[in-house]
Amino acid sequence: MTTLRIDNLNVTFSTEAGPLHALKNVSFDVPENRIVGIVGESGCGKSTLINAILGLLADNGSVDGGSILFEGQDELTTLPPSRMRDLRGPRIATVFQDPMGALNPVISVGKQMLNIQYRSPLSKEEKLNRAVEMLELVRIPDARAALVRYPHQFSGGMKQRIAIAMALMMEPALLIADEPTTALDATLEVTTIELLKDLQQKIGCSVMFISHHLGVIAELCDDVVVMYAGEVVERGTVRQIFQDPRHPYTARLLECDPARQSERTRNLPTIPGEIPDLRARPTGCIFANRCDRVSDACSAPPPDKDIGGGHIARCFVADTPAETGVTA
């Protein structure tokens, strides 16, 4: 079964300067028990995608077309807000980027963990025990004492682990992790990633892992979705994307990853040009203005080409491997 199936999703924001097409024809699956990485530069629509799934789009944003099917039964785009709220937390949990601000500063950790179990029929004592159990699972020392402490009394890494404990406490079917390690330093990042992978296997949930850190994605994820300017330009398994990128954007992205740079290159390559204005999307390929393989064909909307084995790229020339310039 597929935990989350996003099909042809479109999201538009109405702005003073006209409608802004933030997500265009986004399709991908988050299969059961798998970790799907979403990768892309800032402004590629990752946050909009999360908010659309959670039903937390800003007032001026709306889903106009497409579907988000959760666990094969709940159509999230049309679900009434009260039903949506019932899913948030127990079924779809989220860990946000900023560990410093993710927890309420004036409510104790225990109280916050108690509050999010408000739907549970357990007694208060059982709920607290559950909280302690989760804190121990994320390796918070002296977990029972931690309940009466306040967020500012923990370090950034510990706060992020508490946030993960809170998210997984209700054993959700889907965990959305929005750059959960970006604000942490490298060592903490590695331990947090390992912890996340460990817990995912224990609880058996699917994870949607958003990051711009390709190394982390390669390490942690099973599948990868590459987003650019509100479109999914390529998706496939980690091996397919990293070994055999078919979309020129994916290829450039891999090239720009400092971790994959060979010693020879002194200058970090960047992709020339800028993301086009989303209020005036080109009719053809969204990446055409920055692409080194652009041709006349690209002024028409590119097809989602199936390369095989679930590997799909939205490009006319996806049949041939893209040049990465990196010796694998």
Partner 1 sequence: MLSYFIKRLGLAAAIVSVAMFLLFCMIYLIPGDPASVALGPRATEEMRAALREKMGLNQPVLVQFWNFYIGAWTGDLGDEVLSGRPVTTVVLEQLPYTLALIVGGITWSVALGIPLGCWAAVSRGSWADRVVGILSVAVIAVPSFVIAIYALLIFAVELRWLPAIGAGEPGNLGDQLTHLILPSLAVGLGWVGYIARMVRASMLEVLEASHIRTARAFGLPDRTITYRYALSIAILPTVTLLGVGIGQMLSSAVFAEIVFARPGVGKLVYDAILTRNFPIVTGTVLITTVLFVLLNLLADLIIGALDPRVRSSF
- Residues 111 to 130 in contact with partner 1, rule: CB under 8 A: 115-116, 118-119
Closest C-alpha to 175, from 69, 294, 34, 25 = 34
Report if residue 199 touches partner 1, rule: CB under 8 A. no
Nearer to partner 1, 86 or 222 (CB): 86
109 token code pair: 């950790």
Shortest separation between residue 179's beta carbon and partner 1, angstroms:
12
Shortest separation between residue 14's beta carbon and partner 1, angstroms:
14
Helices 124-137 + 156-169 axis angle, to 10: 130
- Residues 49 to 68 in contact with partner 1, rule: CB under 8 A: 54, 56
Report if residue 12 touches partner 1, rule: CB under 8 A. no
Q: Which of 102, 158, 164, 254 binds partner 1 (CB under 8 A)?
A: 102
Query: Residues touching partner 1: how many (CB under 8 A)?
Result: 31
Nearer to partner 1, 36 or 166 (CB): 166
Residue with tokens 């330009």: 233
Report if residue 107 touches partner 1, rule: CB under 8 A. yes
Nearest 5°: the CA angle 305, 307, 309 is 125
CB proximity list for 269: less than 8 A, separation 6 or greater:
252, 255, 256, 325
Q: Which of 101, 273, 303, 309 binds partner 1 (CB under 8 A)?
A: 101
Q: Tell me the Ramachandran region of residue 33: left when phi exceeds 0, alpha when psi lies from -120 to 50, beta otherwise.
A: left
Going from the C-alpha of 60 to that of each of 13, 75, 77, 201, 290, the distances in angstroms are 5, 21, 15, 38, 30
Shortest separation between residue 216's beta carbon and partner 1, angstroms:
21
* Number of neighbours of residue 326 by Cβ within 10 angstroms: 15
Nearer to partner 1, 158 or 224 (CB): 158
Shortest separation between residue 139's beta carbon and partner 1, angstroms:
21
Q: Which of 17, 106, 186, 328 binds partner 1 (CB under 8 A)?
A: 106
Nearer to partner 1, 73 or 327 (CB): 73
C-beta of residue 264 within 8 angstroms of C-beta of residue 327:
no
Report if residue 162 touches partner 1, rule: CB under 8 A. no
The helix, strand and coil proportions of the chain, stated in percent and rounded to the nearest 5, come to 35, 25, 40
Report if residue 85 touches partner 1, rule: CB under 8 A. yes
| DSSP count for the chain of H helices, then E strands | 10, 13
Site string for partner 1, 163-192 (x = CB under 8 A): x--xx-------------------------
Task: Find the DSSP H helices in the chain.
Answer: 46-54, 81-87, 109-115, 124-137, 143-146, 156-169, 186-203, 214-220, 238-243, 248-256
Q: Which of 45, 61, 66, 89 binds partner 1 (CB under 8 A)?
A: 89
C-beta of residue 36 within 8 angstroms of C-beta of residue 222:
yes
Report if residue 98 touches partner 1, rule: CB under 8 A. yes
Binding site for partner 1 (CB under 8 A): 54, 56, 85-90, 93-94, 96-98, 101-108, 115-116, 118-119, 150, 152-153, 163, 166-167
